[in-house]
């Protein structure tokens, strides 16, 4: 587990956790896609969560965070523009992942968001799983490579050029516009990648009416992630 450094700002901690969620979630989808024991409905839910959240994450960087950094440090513009170019390549991979047809009698059947048998007609289901894995692997590899290049640029920029008030304003805008797609999975992944104190820092900006729902969301995330990780 990462030990929090006393020098880490809230901006770095929250961004690091978001990136770790993206690493873990994209890896999980790529690995779970062809497991016959994982229902297609559970895979579709994770796929939809990833597509929505990855798009939202890089769009808020391009349209909001990058301009804040450049305003404070114009010399960062070229490097941030290069990262935005990589976001466009990620969008193409996400388009392919979103285009995988996950429809079938088994998707959406059963209790819970990750319900469904995932059995169906073997050839059809196997083809869906293979197509999903190909697209998921492309997204996983793109995300991991991109984050490895982005973090050495972004973390120092956050530490040096984004003050606490600017970050708070940005973080609130991100929370307010986050797509409501399988949001419980975000809670589950955050609990996996961060310390309790780090996770609480991230969740502190949640709207007050949502906070009482956290225990239920955590239980649902535990159940759904267990389904995705079940061994054949």
Instruction: Specify the residue for token string 């939202």.
Output: 56
Average pLDDT rounded to a whole number, residues 110-132? 59
Tell me how many degrees the CA angle 64-70-72 measures, rounded to the nearest 5: 105
Residue 124 has a pLDDT of: 59
The predicted model scores a pTM of 0.85
Confidence of residue 5 (pLDDT cuts 50, 70, 90): very low
Q: For 189-221, how does the pLDDT look when each residue is reduced to its tens digit (9 = 90+)? A: 999 999 999 999 988 888 888 889 999 999 999
**Sign of the Cα pseudo-torsion (72, 204, 211, 230, in order):** positive
Q: What pLDDT sits at residue 22? A: 97
Average pLDDT (44-51) is: 96
Instruction: Read off the pLDDT of residues 157-199 as tens digits, 9 standing for 90 and up.
Output: 999 999 999 999 999 999 888 888 898 999 999 999 999 999 9
Residues 55-79 have pLDDT tens digits of 999 999 999 999 999 999 999 999 9
Q: What is the pLDDT of residues 7-25, one digit of tens each?
A: 578 999 999 999 999 999 9
HSE-CB at 24 with a 13 A cutoff on CA atoms is 19
Give the Cα separation of 147 and 154 in Å (integer). Answer: 10
DSSP the chain: -PPPPTT--HHHHHHHHHHHHHHHHHHHHHHHTT-TTS-HHHHHHHHHHHHHHHHHHHHHIIIIIHHHHHHH-GGGHHHHHHHHHHHHHHHHHHHHHHHS---STTTT-SSSTT-S---S-HHHHHHHHHHHHHHHHHHHHHHHHHHHHHHHHHHHHHHHH--HHHHHHHHHHHHHH---SSHHHHHHHHHHHS-HHHHHHHHTTS-GGGGGGHHHHHHHHHHHHHHHH---
pLDDT at residue 1 is higher than 50 = no
State mean pLDDT over 150-156.
94
> What pLDDT is attached to residue 195?
94
């Amino acid at each position: 587990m990462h030990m929090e450094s006393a020098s880490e700002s809230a901006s770095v901690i929250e961004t690091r956790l978001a990136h770790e969620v993206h690493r873990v979630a994209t890896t999980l989808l790529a690995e779970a896609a062809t497991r016959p024991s994982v229902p297609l409905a559970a895979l579709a839910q994770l796929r939809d969560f990833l597509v929505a959240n990855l798009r939202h994450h890089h769009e808020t960087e391009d349209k909001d965070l990058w301009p804040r950094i450049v305003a404070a440090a114009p010399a960062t513009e070229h490097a941030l523009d290069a990262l935005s170019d990589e976001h466009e390549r990620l969008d193409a991979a996400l388009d392919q992942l979103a285009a995988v047809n996950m429809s079938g009698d088994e998707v959406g059947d059963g209790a819970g968001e990750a319900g469904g048998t995932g059995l169906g007609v073997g050839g059809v289901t196997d083809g869906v799983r293979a197509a999903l894995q190909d697209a998921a692997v492309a997204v996983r590899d793109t995300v991991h490579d991109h984050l490895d290049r982005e973090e050495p640029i972004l973390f120092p920029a956050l530490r040096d050029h984004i003050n606490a008030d600017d970050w708070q304003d940005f973080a609130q805008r991100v929370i307010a516009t986050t797509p409501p797609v399988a949001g419980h999975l975000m809670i589950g992944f955050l609990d996996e990648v961060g310390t309790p104190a780090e996770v609480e820092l991230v969740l502190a900006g949640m709207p007050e009416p949502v906070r009482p729902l956290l225990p239920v969301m955590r239980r649902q995330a535990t159940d759904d992630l267990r389904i995705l990780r079940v061994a054949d």
